[in-house]
Structure 1
Amino acid sequence: MIQHTQLITIIIISFLITLILGPLAIPILQRLKVGQSIRDEGPKSHISKSGTPTMGGLIMIAAICITTLTSGHANNDLYVILFATIAFGGIGFIDDFIKVVLKRNLGLKAYQKLVGQIIIAIIIAVYQSKTSQYGTEIFVPFMKQSLDFGILYIPFIATVVVATTNSVNLTDGLDGLAAGVTLIVSLFFALAALYYGNSSATLVSGALTGACLGFLRFNVHPAKIFMGDTGSMALGGAIAAIAILTNMTLFIPIVGGIYFVEALSVILQVMSFKLTGKRIFRMSPLHHHYELKGWKEIKVVIVFWAVTLLLCIIGLFSLKV
């Protein structure tokens, strides 16, 4: 079983690997002209970001894999979480490749991404339902009991995985936003997994925490590199898989509240415009709404980080109720 000191070591190792890989990867991506394109309808302040290297998620994926696979604690659960991270990152990579290399702005079609996501999600759900000592039960926050989803477990879990992954993807719209929020959320799951004695989840969560922390060195405003869909999809897949394999799926809307409201803002915006012709927000996802209200990008990011920290503290409290 992993101890507190080992968790700290894992975080530091992943952090250092990311710091080393960053300066190596950025010039390569620049030479390959793998630059981010900025939407014309987006905030005007983002125009200057056009051409910034993207697909930086490859750095985090590499750091997570190197850290975990050389830890000496590998088992099936760890491989499943890594599978989710790499598989979702792979979908994001293909999407990024089509957009920035082949210059097709729309990337993968929505149904193509969705089909791939659902297949990966079902694999994770089936694995957990067959191997977990809790079967189809999921821990309930703030209660010392579990809820058995029975035959609804696999469709429910698959839905959560797809929703979480796409929500993290939507959150990645400002320098350091998705990486910072995920850093805090992954640290929560590292501590929660440690509390429940789940070594695999503790290990990957710690590596994810370190990778996000290291990536922020290059991704905070003004960003030298973006994670792209490669990174945001990988982060979302990792968080979802960690939550599922620790039977803490119902904690995602709490500690990942920012992911939730970012996705909800897009859904409400689309529904409102289609039904009434009016927009609820100045722009969605939500972080752009605050930008257009006059908030500086850095302020939006720090506030969203602070809210995530508060939500994760509440999540930690719910473990001991």
Structure 2
Amino acid sequence: MNVSSALCMISGALIVLGLMLQIMPALIRYLHKIKFGQTERDEGLESHKKKNGTPTMGGLAFILVPSIVYVLFALFSPFRLDMNTGIILLAYIGYGLIGFIDDYIIVVKKNNEGLKPGVKFAMQSVLAIVFFLLYRSVSSTGVWIPILDKTIDLGFLYFILVFFMFTAETNAVNLTDGVDGLCAGLMAIALVPFVLFAMLEGVPNVAFLLLLVVFALLGYLVYNLHPARIFMGDTGSLALGGLIAAAAMVLKQELLLIVIGFVFVAEVLSVIIQVTHFKRTKKRIFLMAPLHHHFEKSGWDENKVVRNFWTAGILCALLGLWLGVM
């Protein structure tokens, strides 16, 4: 990467950060005005009940700002809008739209259940199929195996892998969004290795787009750390899950997504284990699922949960980065 491209990346990232810091206060005021507030579940933690009324759908900002900035830079800079960045943007906005519909039903229609699970999964599945077909037209069905440094052609099974990546990752990230600053911080951490992979693989367009999202999340976190002034809602969490799954797919780092995003994996596994065990024994393994709530129930405050989970996220990101470049 030459000096002009590096300067372009830095300036784009700083522009996104500056815009987020300017836009977020106005967005918070507007969402307050139209009463787009969070409603905590009755069965949720008592300490979270005071969060009722906190504006939600904050994910709109960190979806739209980096997406628009990238498209504008693509018109006047070396970073072009190609198939790779197109798929990532479509996944980011597409899954964000599903989340927006879900949030709209909860907030505006006063239906705390949101989209019916079957409908939400069907919509997520359709997008996963679309992205597989788009990417399959320009790439192989091979999967790179870290450590062994071998690529295995999965053939049709690659579709199963991609389908699982998108549907599982979006739901895992969604489940992780339960403590102030937790999800946004973990995603900013998890995206950094993919920025570096993109640069090492010679796809600076992807690196630039992901870097813009990282800086958008940093700007969002200023207002989302405890006590949060705004939540991302399903709008943001589903979008982020789709984004990182698409990034892993186009960079051919599908397996490392599991390592780098292992905290998200642990969150969704805790729910699966809890539900399965309770149905069989009527007993709970965790005090409460997802996993971050278990630690809250154990006596950790929100800041301690976030601090320790971020530390785990950093370790997973470093391990994934090491496996990817060794």
Instruction: State whether structure 2 residue 50 is matched by structure 1 residue 48.
Output: yes
Counterpart pick for 2:134 among 127, 132, 149: 127
Match of 2:117 in 1: 110
Instruction: State whether structure 2 residue 10 is matched by structure 1 residue 8.
Output: yes
SS of residue in 1 equivalent to 2:61? helix
Match of 2:85 in 1: 78
Q: Point out where structure 2 has 5 or more consecutive residues left out of the alignment.
A: 75-79
Match of 1:202 in 2: 207
Match of 1:174 in 2: 179
Quote how far apart the aligned CAs of 1:200 are. Answer: 2.9
Instruction: State whether structure 2 residue 231 is matched by structure 1 residue 226.
Output: yes
Match of 1:92 in 2: 99
SS of residue in 1 equivalent to 2:296? helix
Provide the rounded CA distance (Å) in 2 between the counterparts of 1:142 and 1:216: 35
Deviates more, 1:136-145 or 1:242-251: 136-145
Q: Which amino acid aligns with 1:82?
A: L
Match of 2:274 in 1: 269
Report if aligned partners of 2:277, 2:283 keep a CA contact under 8 Å in 1. Answer: yes
Report if aligned partners of 2:256, 2:324 keep a CA contact under 8 Å in 1. Answer: no
Quote how far apart the aligned CAs of 1:201 are. Answer: 1.9
Report if aligned partners of 1:128, 1:245 keep a CA contact under 8 Å in 2. Answer: yes
Provide the rounded CA distance (Å) in 1 between the counterparts of 2:263 and 2:73: 31
Deviates more, 1:112-121 or 1:71-80: 71-80
Q: Which amino acid aligns with 1:18?
A: M
SS of residue in 1 equivalent to 2:38? coil
Provide the rounded CA distance (Å) in 1 between the counterparts of 2:41 and 2:248: 33
Counterpart pick for 2:19 among 17, 29, 47: 17
Match of 2:65 in 1: 63
Q: Which amino acid aligns with 1:66?
A: I
Report if aligned partners of 1:137, 1:146 keep a CA contact under 8 Å in 2. Answer: yes
Report if aligned partners of 1:139, 1:146 keep a CA contact under 8 Å in 2. Answer: yes
Quote how far apart the aligned CAs of 1:5 are. Answer: 4.4
Report if aligned partners of 1:169, 1:233 keep a CA contact under 8 Å in 2. Answer: yes
Match of 2:77 in 1: none
SS of residue in 2 equivalent to 1:74? coil
Provide the rounded CA distance (Å) in 2 between the counterparts of 1:140 and 1:7: 30
Provide the rounded CA distance (Å) in 2 between the counterparts of 1:114 and 1:104: 18
Deviation string 1:66-86 (CA, Å, 9 cap, x unpaired) is: 221112222222121111111
Deviates more, 1:11-20 or 1:35-44: 11-20
Q: Which amino acid aligns with 2:54?
A: T
When normalised by structure 1's length, the TM-score is 0.96
Q: Identity of aligned pairs, percent?
A: 42
SS of residue in 1 equivalent to 2:239? helix
Deviation string 1:28-71 (CA, Å, 9 cap, x unpaired) is: 10001000001121111111111000000000011121221112
Report if aligned partners of 2:176, 2:290 keep a CA contact under 8 Å in 1. Answer: yes
The alignment yields a C-alpha RMSD, in angstroms, of 1.3
Q: Which amino acid aligns with 1:11?
A: A
Deviation string 1:187-243 (CA, Å, 9 cap, x unpaired) is: 121111111112232122111101111100110000000000000001111111111
SS of residue in 2 equivalent to 1:147? strand
When normalised by structure 2's length, the TM-score is 0.95
Q: Which amino acid aligns with 2:60?
A: L
Instruction: State whether structure 2 residue 189 is matched by structure 1 residue 184.
Output: yes
Provide the rounded CA distance (Å) in 1 between the counterparts of 2:296 and 2:229: 20
